[in-house]
Amino acid sequence: MVAMNVLAQNQEVTIIAPYQPSIGDAVKINAQPVMPDTTIALPPMSYSITSRVGATDFEITPVKPALIDIKIPHELHRNYLRAGFGNYTTPYFELFTNSLSSDKYAIGFHARHLSSAGNIDDYATSGFSHNNVSLYASRYLRKLAISGKLDYQRDVVHYYGFKPDDDTLYTIADDELRQRYSMIGGEFSLATIQQRRSNKNFDAGVHFYHLNNLNETSELNIGTNANFNSQTQFLDFVQNQELGIDLALDYYHNADSLNSGNALAMSLTPYLRLHMGYLQLRLGVTGALAADSTSNFFVYPDVRADYQIIPDYLTFYAAVTGGLHRNSFKEIINENPWADPLFPLGFTSTSYDIKGGVTGKIDQLFNYNFSVSYASIDNMLYYNNDIISAYSQEVAANFGNKFTGIYDDTQVTAVSLEMGYSQGDRFDVLLRGAYRDYKPATQAKAWHKPKLEVALLAHYNMGEKLTVSGELYYNSKTYVQTRKDKMLIIDHNKAYVDLNLGAEYHFSKKIAAFVQCNNLTSTRYYRYYQYPSQRINAMGGFTFSF
């Protein structure tokens, strides 16, 4: 409502009426928008290109492609037979029988025979035979692997290390020189299968063997080896940490025609392994017990460090270790089958062995390992001809054709080098060498220990049909102690080179022929004093897969 005031005759009148709002006319802009023309006319242009080579100092270095070893699936066979015959009347037979590939189990059988009836000119009968039969099996469970093996071995050798024509006072029949070793043994192990989520693992086993010969010498061994380890977290700044313990226990019962006795060797090694990226450490200590007629306890370091300068290509390592070792009769005859049946057995203790080196590879094909070491060894074992028994009642011993053991404390400085080149299955070559300087405490020389040993091994696959291989060995001269005119003198075995070559031709995937030639230089060398090797030895035969 709107109120209005009107003046009349000096009176004021107020009129109230409804309000009617209104909008005035708007003033409009009549201008229209105009778009400007942005088209620009380009003036005509002409040009030309002149090409020329510019100088540059940049050179591209070719990069070798990475080697990718692609495994092509091939047909598997359960059986593999290899048989041949060589000069010196040398038959050879070897059979492997295995189950096919399986993630649940594996079972196999192996048999081998190698013998020779050939003689060495001027020396006594030198025939030998080596026979072995073994059965092995494994069972794979979800978290465990169970393995077992039974083994029988029978070896025959002759103590041929003398010239019968040099001594006409005695006539020795071949049976008097014959020695036969028979051994049966086995082992059983139980181990966890490594899994990502598993941080506790173990690998434990038991083993045994019984060995005897024709001279009433026997050895019984029962032992166990175990490793227990667990992932742990002692140090926050270390990525992976493993706490573990190694256990070894061996009992021996030895008997010969004169004596019998027992021996016990036990060691316990707790350790901590640290993985810190480029640096890996193993920190441990070993406590060991040696017991036979007396008992002794030893403590050894067990420390190792690996530092990767360039992962996989350059790694420096250093270690300080030690350990206790039992010189068993089995180990001795495997190394020297002409050992005297009354061989003295004992313990060897390495107080410390300090080693440092560098390892890695230059590219995908070439790898290397170089090291130097210094060790202090108590009661190191040396072989020497049994000249001490020259006046014993056993006739064969008068010729010094058996070996006895001499123990002496020794300092050993060693330098070793290993280099390998490999192109997968096509070609590979390995060079391995070691120089060792022995310093015995009381003996004049390190008997039968070469200072320098070198081996060169090569394998070349010439397509799908022909494969050739070669081996070259060099051993420097070794010193021995012998008797001449009832006087002890020092003599030596000359340095020697042993060259072996072999070839195999495949007629098909199942049948092949092979030839193997050993000692191609036809050198009569002596690994042990008075025991020459056969000269050139050639053998040919066939292989069958079925």
Residue 405 lies in domain: 362-546
What 3-state class would DSSP assign to 532? strand
Domain assignment present for 377 = yes
Tokens coding 79: 């059986």
Quote the CA–CA distance of 131 and 135 in Å, as a whole number: 14
Quote the CA–CA distance of 404 and 400 in Å, as a whole number: 10
Instruction: Tally Cβ neighbours within 10 Å of residue 424.
Output: 13
Quote the CA–CA distance of 280 and 270 in Å, as a whole number: 17
107-139 residues labelled b (16+ CB within 10 A) or e (exposed): eeebbbbbbbebbbeebbbbbbebbbbbbbebe
Is the per-residue pLDDT at 441 higher than 90? yes
Tokens coding 486: 């009832």
- DSSP per-residue letters across 249-298: EEEEEEE-SS-EEEEEEEEEEEEEEEEETTEEEEEEEEEEEEESSSEEEE
What 3-state class would DSSP assign to 228? strand
pLDDT on residue 385: 92
Which pairing describes strands 366-385 and 346-361: parallel, antiparallel, or unpaired? antiparallel
Domain assignment present for 9 = no
Is the per-residue pLDDT at 35 higher than 90? no
Quote the CA–CA distance of 114 and 84 in Å, as a whole number: 10
Average pLDDT over residues 485-510: 93
Tell which wins on pLDDT, 45 or 431: 431
Quote the CA–CA distance of 84 and 540 in Å, as a whole number: 5
Is the per-residue pLDDT at 9 higher than 70? no
pLDDT on residue 393: 43
Q: Note whether 215 and 178 are within 8 A (CB).
A: no
Q: Note whether 290 and 324 are within 8 A (CB).
A: yes
Question: Per-residue pLDDT tens for 138-182?
Answer: 999 988 999 999 999 999 999 999 988 876 566 788 888 999 999
C-alpha angle 352-357-362 in degrees, rounded to nearest 5: 160
Domain assignment present for 182 = no
pLDDT on residue 34: 66
List all residues 6 or more positions away from 187 whose beta carbon is below 8 Å from its beta carbon: 148, 149, 205, 206, 207, 208
What 3-state class would DSSP assign to 439? strand
List all residues 6 or more positions away from 297 whose beta carbon is below 8 Å from its beta carbon: 287, 288, 289, 290
Is the per-residue pLDDT at 360 higher than 90? yes
Is the per-residue pLDDT at 130 higher than 90? yes
CA torsion 387→391→395→399, rounded to 10°?
Answer: 30
Quote the CA–CA distance of 225 and 248 in Å, as a whole number: 5
Instruction: Tally Cβ neighbours within 10 Å of residue 544.
Output: 14
The DSSP symbol for 28 reads -
List all residues 6 or more positions away from 29 whose beta carbon is below 8 Å from its beta carbon: none
Quote the CA–CA distance of 403 and 394 in Å, as a whole number: 14
Q: How far is CA 466 from the centre of its chain?
A: 28
Domain assignment present for 493 = yes
pLDDT on residue 6: 44
Is the per-residue pLDDT at 75 higher than 60? yes
Give the pLDDT band of residue 271 (cuts 50, 70, 90): very high
Q: Is 409 left (phi over 0), alpha (psi -120 to 50) or beta?
A: beta
C-alpha angle 534-535-540 in degrees, rounded to nearest 5: 90
Q: Tell me, what amino acid is at 521?
A: T
Domain assignment present for 411 = yes
What 3-state class would DSSP assign to 316? strand
- DSSP per-residue letters across 450-482: -SEEEEEEEEEEETTTEEEEEEEEEE--EEEEE
pLDDT on residue 387: 79
Tokens coding 265: 């060797």
Number of H helices, E strands in the chain: 2, 28
CA-based radius of gyration for the chain: 42
Average pLDDT over residues 338-349: 96
pLDDT on residue 60: 53
Quote the CA–CA distance of 199 and 203 in Å, as a whole number: 14
Question: Per-residue pLDDT tens for 78-102?
Answer: 999 999 999 999 999 999 999 998 8
pLDDT on residue 118: 82
Q: How far is CA 391 from the centre of its chain?
A: 45
Average pLDDT over residues 293-302: 96
Tokens coding 485: 């005119």
Tokens coding 490: 């020092």
Q: How far is CA 383 from the centre of its chain?
A: 26
pLDDT on residue 13: 58
Give the pLDDT band of residue 277 (cuts 50, 70, 90): confident
Does the pTM exceed 0.95? Answer: no
Tokens coding 335: 């190394």
Domain assignment present for 185 = no
Q: Note whether 491 and 478 are within 8 A (CB).
A: no
Domain assignment present for 533 = yes
The domain that contains 431 carries what CATH number?
Answer: 2.40.170.20
Give the pLDDT band of residue 195 (cuts 50, 70, 90): low
Tokens coding 309: 């300068």
Tell which wins on pLDDT, 532 or 194: 532
Quote the CA–CA distance of 255 and 216 in Å, as a whole number: 8
Instruction: Tally Cβ neighbours within 10 Å of residue 68.
Output: 7
Question: What is the average pLDDT value for the chain, to the nearest integer?
Answer: 88
Give the pLDDT band of residue 527 (cuts 50, 70, 90): very high
Instruction: Tally Cβ neighbours within 10 Å of residue 199.
Output: 12
* Count of domains for the chain: 1
Quote the CA–CA distance of 356 and 352 in Å, as a whole number: 13
The share of the chain scoring above pLDDT 70, in percent, equals 83
**Minimum mean pLDDT among 371-375, 381-385, 479-483: which range?**
479-483
Domain assignment present for 333 = no
